Structure 1
Amino acid sequence: MADGKEVFADDEDLVDFIKKEKENWDLKGQKSRLHLRADGKVHFTYVRRVIRAAAAAGVNEVIFVSLWSRSS
C-alpha cells in the first residue's frame, strides 16, 4: 500500500504502479478501489490525473475525499 509519499516520474509510471497494485488485489480476491484523499492545497488537475491513471490501469471505482481546512 502506498504511504502517500511516493513520487512518480510521469503518468505512465503512475499507471504502472496502479496496475501492479491492482494485480495484487486481484490475486487476493479483493475488489480494486482507489482511495484518494486531498486537502484544499491540492489543485484538482493532479486529482484528475490520478483518477485517469487509475481508469487506464483498470481501476474504475474511486473513493475521493477532500479535506477542508479553515483558513486563519
Structure 2
Amino acid sequence: MSLEQVINTQNESLNQIISSLQELVLSYKNGNLSLEDVKKLINETIENISNDYIKESELKEKLEALLEEL
C-alpha cells in the first residue's frame, strides 16, 4: 500500500467516524439513545482515536529515522 493510499484510508476513516458521531447525536435527539449511551460511545471513539494517534506518532518517528539514514 502506498503512502497516498494510507493517507486516503485515514481520511475515509475520519469521515466515517464523523458521520457515525453525527448519527449518534441524531439518534439521541430522536429519543432512540440515552445521553449516557451517546457519551459512552463518544468516549470509546476518543480512546480509539488516541490509540491510532499513538501508532501514527510511532510511524512518524520511524519515517524520520529512515530519512536520517538516507
TM-score after normalising by structure 2: 0.35
Q: Greater strand share, 1 or 2?
A: 1
Higher-Rg member (1/2): 2
Q: Which has the higher contact order (CA 8 A, sep 6+)?
A: 1
